[in-house]
Amino acid sequence: MPRMTKRDEMIAGAMRLFQTEGFRGIGVDAILAPSGASTRTLYKHFASREGLVAAVLEERHRAFMEALRSRDAANPLGALFDTLDDWAHRHASPGCMLLRARSEYISANPQIARLVERQKAEYRQDIAARVAAMLGREDAALSTQVWMLVEGFNAIGGLAGDNALALAREAAFTLLAAAGRQAP
């Protein structure tokens, strides 16, 4: 396995910290501690603290979308929920890092908020493609409903109990079945 670059180490360390502690309440020294990097190194690679935040969000989104797209396409909607289940267990911290970042930066840094909005739009398009593959046609309303179920889990899954994702999955397939019975 290739050795991580200092930039990658900074992203990985900051990502772990942001996942558990949030974004804005953490000082630069704490953010850099896991990688052992200096403030000068931060500015060399990212130009600013917010540049590191953006790089963390980009990496997190890339890794999730890669995990999502690597699943078996025989059941695209099932693969979505399987990926979410694996992701939630692997990252062991409830909630979506991207949604948290948007919430923390919506007023303080609109660029970061827009980055998350772009990422969530890409995710929503992926969900719409999965719904269309399952249904055999596009259905904007159903795609939005499934997206809302998934993002609802992402936002409050940790509060809703251990079976929250299973309930969201069941609701999505119930909606899919109902849409399949309707004439296009």
Residue 23 three-state SS: coil
78: how many CB neighbours lie within 10 A of its CB? 16
What is the predicted pLDDT for the residue at 145?
Answer: 97
What is the predicted pLDDT for the residue at 94?
Answer: 64
Q: Computed from CA positions of residues 111, 112, 116, 119, in that sequence, does the dihedral angle turn out positive or negative?
A: positive
What is the predicted pLDDT for the residue at 11?
Answer: 96
Q: Tell me the per-residue pLDDT of 89-147, one tens digit each, with 9 for 90 and over.
A: 888 666 789 999 999 999 999 999 999 999 999 999 999 999 999 999 999 999 999 99
What is the predicted pLDDT for the residue at 182?
Answer: 66
What is the predicted pLDDT for the residue at 143?
Answer: 97
Average pLDDT along the chain: 91
CA atoms of 102 and 70, how far apart (whole Å): 26
Which domains occur in the chain, in start order? 6-181 (1.10.357.10)
Q: Residues 142, 176: contact at Cβ < 8 Å?
A: yes
C-alpha 13: how far from chain center: 17
Q: Tell me the per-residue pLDDT of 17-69, one tens digit each, with 9 for 90 and over.
A: 998 888 988 999 999 999 999 999 999 999 999 999 999 999 999 999 999 99
What is the predicted pLDDT for the residue at 79?
Answer: 95
CA atoms of 20 and 165, how far apart (whole Å): 20
CA atoms of 96 and 64, how far apart (whole Å): 11
Q: Evaluate if residue 160 carries a pLDDT over 80.
A: no
Q: Evaluate if residue 85 carries a pLDDT over 80.
A: yes
What is the predicted pLDDT for the residue at 154?
Answer: 86
Q: Residues 99, 61: contact at Cβ < 8 Å?
A: no
